[in-house]
Structure formats: structure tokens, C-alpha cells
Amino acid sequence: MHLKYSLKTAIVGLKTNRSRSILTILGIVIGITAIILISSLGAGAQALILGQLQGMGTKTIAVLPGRQPKSLMDATQIFSDSLVNKDLDALKRKTNVPYLAKIMPIVFGADTAFNGNESYRLTIFGASDLVTKIFDIYPTEGEFFTDEDVRSRADVVVIGSKVKKELFGSASALGQKIRIKGKNFRVVGILPEKGQSTMNFDEAAIIPHTTAQQYIFGIKYFHRLIIEANAEENVSSTIRDIEITLRNSHGITDPDKDDFHVETAADIISRLGVITSVLTLFLVAVAAISLIVGGIGIMNIMLVSVTERTREIGLRKSIGATNGNILFQFLLEAVLLTGIGGAIGICLGAVFSFLASLGLSRVVSMDWSFTFPLSAALIGLFVSGLIGLVFGLYPAKQAAKKSPIEALRYE
């Protein structure tokens, strides 16, 4: 009964100064809304990135030039020229890597493509015909170039949907030519719109890697080797065979001096998962600063309330209310303020998160799913109540300490 009466009194007290109560909890509302929004978008981004990487398959292995980056100096070695044709030939031998099912060299860069007066800055991927199977992307118009095109360094190109739109508009692009670095390439295929993924094929032109090496980039090495094991359980053995084969090919006896490193889709997924989680937590911590500001606002308004209700405190004490009763009453009001603010913040955060996810899905053509962070919502509600308790404690103590005689004399 005491709790019911205290709750009713607290609600009446908050309603008496409704405008002031609303303005007071604004900091809490903003803080909780920001936390829910950031947590939701962070979870959505993580799900999108990891989902796309998982789409590459758990059997996919990437071999990159340079040793595994552990510092800024190591990162510069990623652009080294340690992967060459003899490495590709060595890895293709069944005796060296028995569980290898597919291997595809990749070179890439950016340049401008022209079609008459139209031009477009695009990404150039030099690859083989295996790109369709490894990345599960097939032309909606035309066809992909063949292994024979790769061997003969054919001047053929498969373009992404956005490249087609920018260079040809609504006109047909199949059989037409685009010019890159002064060389004409015949369009043999057009890829479907896929949106941003592990590789943005919408804004890309894919040509045989031999053609790209000789005519576009002028290099004799590869930027990546993409390998697929014949079974998921053979991935570890395949990685070990790759490392042994490349060390033999490069004359390396000390693994610490490797001029290449191997990554699996699982490695990348794990690393990106940690990165996105840390970034989300950092942004949540920044947003939580507004909760501190809101807590200070709660303390301020409760101190004002104690002063305004001095006679009420004196009257209640004169009819038997104890210091504990007064302390509990003002603490309850502070917790109610922050609790209401937390609930409103959670609702607004959920709405804004849903709208943001919907907007991202439509504007940037990405399959961005809405995720409601239940754990963040529960923590937010708990923290908002805790802030009311912590920042309401001092004003409540001040109210409880008032003498009933002095309080009744207060004008």
C-alpha cells in the first residue's frame, strides 16, 4: 500500500510540472534513442558484410602478396609482386595441392572507359572464366568470356549494370565496343544489378587477366590468387599445401620470411566481426555521454522540486512521514522520470532504426535487414533507471534532511 501511494504521489508530482518533466527527460530520450539506433545499424551492417562474405563459400581461400600485415610497415607489402605465373603453375599441379578444385588469378585497378562521348570511371577486374562459379554471378545478357579468350589475351569485356547504364543508356551494349587505355574491348556480357558486395560488380568491367596484365596494367604478377578446395574438411590441408608449394617456389625456408599470406573466408569474417563490434561499442559509448548530461538535468530538476515542495515535505513529516519515506518518494520520482525517458527512447530508436534500414535498402540497393537490439534495449532501460537512482539520490537526501518545523515555516 505504501508503494502504491508513493507511486501515485510521484505521478501527480510529475504531472504538476509536465512541461518541465518532458524537457528534463529529453537528454535521456536522445541518449537511449542514439544507442538503439547505433546498435541496430551496427548489427545490420555486420549481418550484411558477414552474409556477403559467407556467400563466397567456406571452401574459398585467398592468397595475397606480402606477409600477414601486423603493422603499418607490413601493410605496404600487400602491394608487392611476389605472386607470379610460376606460382600459378606450381599450385595447379595435383601433386602439390591435391585438394585444389579451382584456382583463379586476379588483377585489379581503376581506369576510365569511353563509348563515343560518354565516359565512366570504373573498376577493372582481370580474372578467368571461373569468376562466375567462385562469386556466383552470371551475365543476364550475352555470355562470359572463355578459357580460350584468357589464353589468347582476347579484347573482350563483361560489364556491370551501372557501367552499361552510364556508357550506353537504354541502348543495347552487346557487341558494342568500349575503349580503355586506348584499346577497344568488345562487350560480350552484361551482369545483373547486384549492389555493393565483397566486390562491386555493378561498377566493374571484367576482362581476361592476361589481357589486363599486358594491355591495361603492364604487369607480370597477380594481386590475388583465389582458390577453392574440393571440400570444406580439406581447407586446412589445402592451406598447408599452398604454403609449402609457395615457399618451395620462392626458395623460402623460414616461415617468418614468407612474402605471401593466406586468408580464408572464415578468417575475414572473424576479423570483420570483431572490427564492426568494436566500432559499434565505441559509437554507443559516445552516444551514452548524453545520458550523463540527462542525469545532471534530472539532479537539477529534482533539487528545484525539493525547494518548491519544502512546505509539502514539512506537512508530510508532521503527520508521521519518516526520513526514509521522503527519501524513497523523491528517488521514485527521479527513477520514474528516467524510466519513462528510457522507454520513449527505445520506441523512437526502434522506429528510426527501421526507417534507416528501409532507406538504406532502397537508396543504396543493399539487402540491409532491420535488427532490433533487444540486449541494448534492456541495458538502456536498466541504465536509465540507474541514472535516476544515482542522480536522484542527492536531491532525495536533501529533502529527507529537512526539519519539519523549518519546512512548515518556509515561504
Helix (H), strand (E) at residue 242: helix 235-250
**CA-to-CA separations, 150 to 110, 127, 143, 384, in angstroms, rounded:** 20, 8, 14, 63
Q: Is the pLDDT of residue 360 over 50?
A: yes
Q: What residues have CB less than 8 Å from 103, skipping those under 6 apart?
A: 88, 91, 92, 130, 225, 226, 227, 228
Q: What is the C-alpha separation between 56 and 50, in angstroms, rounded?
A: 10
How much is the pLDDT for 307?
Answer: 67
How much is the pLDDT for 389?
Answer: 75
Share of the chain above pLDDT 70, in %: 74
How much is the pLDDT for 391?
Answer: 74
Q: What is the C-alpha separation between 109 and 101, in angstroms, rounded?
A: 27
Q: Is the pLDDT of residue 85 over 80?
A: yes
In the numeric block, the cell 549481418 is attached to 47
Average pLDDT of the chain? 80
Q: What is the C-alpha separation between 337 and 17, in angstroms, rounded?
A: 12
How much is the pLDDT for 76?
Answer: 46
Is residue 344 very low, low, confident or very high in pLDDT (cuts 50, 70, 90)?
confident
User: Which of 209-218, 224-233, 381-390 ranks highest by mean pLDDT?
Assistant: 209-218
Q: pLDDT tens, 169-216?
A: 989 999 999 999 989 999 999 999 876 555 678 899 999 999 999 999
Under a CB-based contact definition with an 8 Å cutoff, are residues 74 and 217 in contact?
no
Largest Cα separation within the chain, whole Å, is 102
What is the rounded (10 degree) CA torsion for 268, 86, 66, 50?
A: -10
User: Which of 81-90, 196-205, 365-374 ranks highest by mean pLDDT?
Assistant: 81-90
Q: Is the pLDDT of residue 54 over 80?
A: no
Q: Is the pLDDT of residue 72 over 50?
A: no
Please give the model's pTM, rounded to 2 decimal places.
0.58
In this structure, the number of other CB atoms found within 10 A of the CB of residue 29 comes to: 24
Q: Is the pLDDT of residue 332 over 70?
A: yes
Chain-centre distance of CA 215, in angstroms?
A: 37
Burial of 205 (0-12, 13-18, 19+ CB in 10 A): buried
Beta strands in 53-117 (DSSP E): 60-65, 100-115
Average pLDDT value for residue range 357-362: 74
Is residue 1 very low, low, confident or very high in pLDDT (cuts 50, 70, 90)?
very low
How much is the pLDDT for 314?
Answer: 67
When mean pLDDT is compared across 157-161, 295-299, 350-354, the lowest value belongs to: 295-299
